[in-house]
A and B are shown apart, each in its own frame.
Chain A
Amino acid sequence: MSPELINLIIQATFETLYMVGIAALIGTAFGLPLGVFLATSRKGELFAAPTVNRVLGIVVNATRSTPFIILVVAIIPFTRMVAGTSIGSTAAIVPLTIASAPFIARLVEGAIREVDGGLIETASSFGASPVQIVLKVLIPEALPGLLLALTLAVVSLLGYSAMVGAVGGGGLGDLGIRYGYQRFMPEMMLAVVVVLIALVQLVQSAGDYLARRVNRRLRHR
């Protein structure tokens, strides 16, 4: 493979990391609070607001059930408004974020709901406010689950980021389609797939390691 092609792969890898990194960050910034709220706002819960909970649940489900490629196209006007353009890696961050936030929210909700309800009662019994319960009990106790959820979200984003290539988003997917498919360069396609597999492995291993590090539940000496 020529040095120019290798340079292309390196550049595309950075584009992918950029898109996925920023989308994961912003997606978490929205998804984490949303997930915590979803996990604590049913009837009788800390921030009980059953109607809001139901409405948000429907919105989250709707976003998640829209095929990503359709979401990308459908929100192009919004993307142009936010990013100033609808083409390129920066523009691709917008649909990636919009797809990842509800996904992260559901994963966070699951992780938070795993926390023993007795701990909420305990914290209430010594006068903790709902916000204190979230910050001092729910999030620290759910941390291993939250880290695994985030890992899963990043892995999914890597997959999604390959799709934005189809609409000029750049990154590894874009490279694979343009060179591997349209220019009949199977070795390029293979290289792209190998890099993606390596990235996923790396992210998953790092996530597993961190989750294990913070998990004190089954700590062996």
Chain B
Amino acid sequence: MNAQPSLVVGDPIEILDAAAEPAAMVRFENISKTYPAHRGKPGVVALRGIDLAIARGSITGVIGRSGAGKSSLVRLINGLEKPTAGRVVVDARDISALTGRDLRLAQRSIGMIFQHFNLLSSRTAADNIALPLEIAGWSKADIRARVSELLALVGIADKHDRYPSELSGGQKQRVGIARALATRPDVLLSDEATSALDPQTTRAILDLLANINRELGVTIVLITHEMSVVRQLAKEVVVLDAGHVVERGHVADIFTHPKHPITQSFLAEVTGDSLPVSLAGRIVQEPGGQAVIRVQVRGAGAGDTLIARLARELGLDVSLLSARIDEIGGRHVGALVLGIPGGEGAAARTLAWLSQFQISAERLGYVA
């Protein structure tokens, strides 16, 4: 036997590690990533001390503000970036230690889709999807069959000969998805894949990704700055801030009991904690008119009879100024903004009444 490095087996230590946590498809072990100072610009620490396991077959959403380290994190998984310290294990293989040909072979089992689709303008939809197969050295006949299969899978079989300039954003991303899946990868990485799409198209693309996860068992890791994307698609959430994992868990838990301020601020964007502009402009702090009270809705069916009971038990003509409630992981999450007539006293009674049900609420001010 010669001493060629094996791609399938890896060294014995890795096998032991994998056995210890058999479900992990991707594992970050004490990962740090620092970009060195370059041309007078100071160095940047993108990630620090990341320990994270991503389960096989899961859909994990990594959310963070721009500059939080999301891009670096996802690019460590397919070896586009190397960690400064620590290692990244993908399917029991230390991808951070691979280079050259070994790395390129490993990359075939990890697909990636991009915010701006990154299709070749000089190739048709079919030829774009064929590119990774050409690179992997497939035969022409095999490529043709696989491309047809993929076009059908992503629902654009009729766009076979269209150039990207003739496709809509959603169709381009479908081509991107088909291309990423061409070599039958185990992992699909999504880098803000829906950020350039309108809400309706976003929903359709996320549905497609959910189907792919369900039917092909592909592990999906998606990075985004939009909580709505995480809410619709992900099962697991990782919240990243300034290179740290500040919170992680099941999507329903994160949405109903966000602990970190960053998570709470992300949540506010989807659950409507921010007031409508027309209302926000009219709120004053001097008592008078209606008191404006925001009621957080976090839990199963919490919103159902709340207003009716409040009106009945306290004898108040409660008005609903703004409301947004979503169902996330089977639980209602959102916020109601109520108008309570009767001055400071009524407002205080309302807050007291709500607090006995452990419902968090706050008085924002008054509107005439």
Taking Cβ atoms with an 8 Å cutoff, the residues of A that contact B are 116, 118-119, 121-129, 132, 136-137, 140-141, 143, 214, 216-219, 221
Q: In the complex, are the beta carbons of A127 and B165 less than 8 A apart? A: no
With contacts A136-B135, A216-B163 taken as known, whether A121 is within 8 angstroms of B118 at the C-beta atoms is: yes
Q: Mark B150-178, 1 if CB is under 8 A from A, else 0.
A: 00000000000001111000000000000
Nearest-neighbor residue (CB-CB) of B112 within chain A: A125
- Docked Cα-Cα span, A214 to B163, in Å, equals 12
Q: In the complex, are the beta carbons of B165 and A123 less than 8 A apart? A: no
Contact for B135 among A126, A140, A216, CB less than 8 A: A126
- Docked Cα-Cα span, A36 to B105, in Å, equals 25
Contact for B118 among A119, A132, A219, CB less than 8 A: A119
Q: Chain B residues near A132 (CB, 8 Å)?
A: 135
Q: In the complex, are the beta carbons of A219 and B104 less than 8 A apart? A: no
Main SS at interface, chain B: mixed
In the complex, the 10 A-B pairs of residues with the closest C-beta atoms, listed nearest first: A127-B107, A127-B104, A126-B132, A122-B118, A125-B112, A216-B163, A140-B122, A118-B118, A217-B121, A128-B135
Most chain B CB neighbours (cut-off 10 Å) among A122, A125, A126, A132: A126
Most chain A CB neighbours (cut-off 10 Å) among B121, B131, B166: B121
Main SS at interface, chain A: helix
Shortest A195–chain B CB gap in Å is: 36
Shortest A210–chain B CB gap in Å is: 14
Q: In the complex, are the beta carbons of B122 and A214 less than 8 A apart? A: yes
Find residues 178-226 in chain B having any chain A CB closer than 8 Å to their own CB: 179-180, 182-183, 189
Q: In the complex, are the beta carbons of B122 and A216 less than 8 A apart? A: yes
- Docked Cα-Cα span, A22 to B183, in Å, equals 44
Q: Cβ of B15 < 8 Å from any Cβ of A?
A: no
- Docked Cα-Cα span, A217 to B107, in Å, equals 28
Most chain B CB neighbours (cut-off 10 Å) among A116, A124, A214, A217: A124
Q: In the complex, are the beta carbons of B121 and A216 less than 8 A apart? A: yes
**Further pairs besides A121-B118, A128-B132: 12, Cβ < 8 Å:** A124-B80, A124-B107, A126-B108, A126-B132, A126-B180, A127-B105, A127-B108, A129-B101, A140-B120, A140-B122, A216-B122, A219-B165
